[in-house]
Chains A and B, each alone.
Chain A
Amino acid sequence: MAQNQMKIVCPITIGGVEQTKTLTTATGVDVGSFVKTKPGLGKPFLAFNTLPGTVTAADFDGAPIVDADAAVNNAAITTMLADPQPYLDRLTFA
C-alpha cells in the first residue's frame, strides 16, 4: 500500500550505538513493508504525518513492533495516524 511520506521515529544503530532517529519516508513507498528494512523486524516504531520539532528521545514501551506482515504494520500505522496525540506524548523534542 503506497502512502504519502511520513515520519517514522525508531531506534537506529549508528556506530554500534542504538539511537532514536526520525526517518522521512519517500513518497509512494509502502511504509508497512519498508519498516521491515528499517528499523527492522522486532523493532519498535512510531509513525506520524508531521512532527512539531526535532525528536531527541522516545518512549517505545508498548509501541508497535515491526511485524513480518506488512499489512499488520500498516494497520498499526493507520491507528497511530488516526489519533497521534498519545504517541506524540511519548516523544521528547529539542
Chain B
Amino acid sequence: MSTMAVDDIRITDDGIVLWREVTTEDNGAKTFHRVSLRPVDVGTGGLPSEVAAAYSTWLAGQGTPPTRTLNDPIPPSALRASIIAQARLLVSGDDLQGVETAAGFGAAMILDTGVFWLFFTQPQPDDNFGAFAQARRSGGGIRADVTDANTGYIEVTTTDMTGTPVTPVSLFVSIQRAQ
C-alpha cells in the first residue's frame, strides 16, 4: 500500500517552484518513507491533485510561506557507519603477547592453533554488525576469516591457502555497525 502527501512548496532563488512529496509504502513488514523534490510545471498541467491543491493553497497565501529555498540539502540518513571495536593481536607461537590499539574489545585468547576469540568490553545489543579481519605472517600466504560472531565475542580463524590453521604474527580485527 502506498500513500503520498505533499508537505511543502517552496521557491528557489531563481524563481523555480518546487514541491516536496513524502511517499509512504507499507509492505506489511516495514514502512518506507521516500521524500522527493520536484519542479512544479504549472504550464503543462497534469499535476497530481495533492500538488495542485497544496500549490493553490500556497498561492492564496493561506499556507505556510516558504522560509528557505529548496536548494537546501535533503537531510541525511539518520544511520551512520561506525567502528564499534577494533584490536590488533600480537602473536608468538601459542602465546598471545599483546592486544594493542584496542577499543571496544576487553581481551582476547587463543582457542586453538589459528583460532582466536576476541571479547567485547560490553556485550553488544545484537549481532547485527560486520566483522573484518586481516592477518599477517612472515612470508605471507595467510588468510583470516570471521568464523563466529555473537553479542559476546567474535571468533577469527587464520589459515594458509590450503585451509590449514596457521599462527599469524599479527591479527587485526575491526567491527562495524550502522547506528
Contacts and interface: CB of A to CB of B under 8 A. Distances in A.
Contacts, number: 57
Given A29-B106, A29-B121, A34-B121, A24 B99 contact: yes
A12 B110 CA distance: 12
Interface in B142-169: 152
A28 B105 CA distance: 11
Contacts of A14: 111
Task: Determine the main DSSP class of B at the interface with A.
Answer: strand
For B102, B106, B122, which residue has the most chain A Cβ atoms within 10 angstroms? B106
5 contacts: A14-B111, A21-B111, A27-B100, A37-B120, A38-B152
B18 interface: no
Given A37-B119, A38-B107, A38-B119, A28 B96 contact: no
A58 B99 CA distance: 23
Given A37-B119, A38-B119, A8 B107 contact: yes
Nearest to A24: B96
Interface of B: 87, 94-100, 102, 105-109, 111, 119-123, 152
Interface residues of A, number: 17
A25 B106 CA distance: 6
A24 B98 contact: yes
B102 A37 contact: no
B36 to A, nearest CB: 46
Contacts of A5: 98-99
A61 B132 CA distance: 39
B109 A37 contact: no
Contacts of B87: 26
For A23, A25, A26, A34, which residue has the most chain B Cβ atoms within 10 angstroms? A26
A54 B122 CA distance: 27
A23 B94 contact: no
Given A34-B121, A37-B120, A26 B106 contact: yes
Given A37-B121, A37-B123, A26 B99 contact: yes
A37 B122 contact: yes
